[in-house]
């Protein structure tokens, strides 16, 4: 008997972590005007981030993202244009090259799932 995958569609290259990180974005909006905007991420992964952005951008646009806490910059491009919340849109950004160390967090392994029983287990040192 054949099984059907529970998550059809393309598989993520790295696990997404829901985390708010302050960032500054620079680029050109949909009309070609330069913008600079401070915001925060909604989610991060080794290949980019999901952010809320007031500036209107187009798919494929080049954006410079600065991690506000470290001042480190990374070139990205827009890969997802999501829904608008208030006056800001969800924008998916992909790094020009994978940079898992950019966010200064350890990402879960590719096969990790919050449904895995080990994700709910508290590991205690033996002998205590």
Domain that holds residue 53: 17-95
Q: What is the DSSP letter of 90?
A: E
Residue 103 maps to a domain? no
Residue pair 108/15 in contact by the 8 Å Cβ criterion:
yes
Would 45 be classed as within a structural domain?
yes
pLDDT tens column, 31-42:
999 999 999 999
CA–CA distances in Å: residue 42 to residues 3, 48, 50, 89, 93: 33, 11, 5, 11, 11
* Total number of domains constituting the chain: 1
Residue 113 lies in a domain: no
Does residue 117 lie in a domain region? no
User: What integer pLDDT is reported at residue 98 of this predicted model?
Assistant: 82
Residue 3 lies in a domain: no
CATH code at position 79: 2.40.10.220
Q: Is 54 inside a domain boundary?
A: yes
Q: Report yes or no on 101 lying in a domain.
A: no
Q: In the block, which residue shows the tokens 């290949």?
A: 47
Whether the model clears a pTM of 0.85, i.e. scores above it, the answer is no
3-class SS of residue 94:
strand
């Amino acid at each position: 008997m054949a099984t059907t995958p529970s998550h059809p569609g393309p598989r993520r290259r790295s696990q997404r972590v829901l985390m708010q990180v302050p960032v500054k974005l620079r680029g050109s909006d949909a009309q070609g005007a330069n913008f600079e905007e401070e915001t925060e991420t909604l989610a991060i992964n080794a290949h980019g981030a999901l952010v809320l952005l007031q500036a209107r951008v187009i798919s494929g646009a080049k954006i410079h993202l600065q991690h506000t806490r470290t001042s480190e910059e990374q070139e990205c491009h827009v890969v997802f244009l999501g829904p608008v919340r208030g006056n800001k849109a969800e924008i998916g950004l992909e790094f020009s090259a994978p940079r898992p160390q950019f966010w200064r967090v350890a990402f879960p392994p590719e096969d990790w799932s919050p449904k895995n029983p080990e994700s709910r287990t508290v590991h205690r040192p033996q002998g205590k």
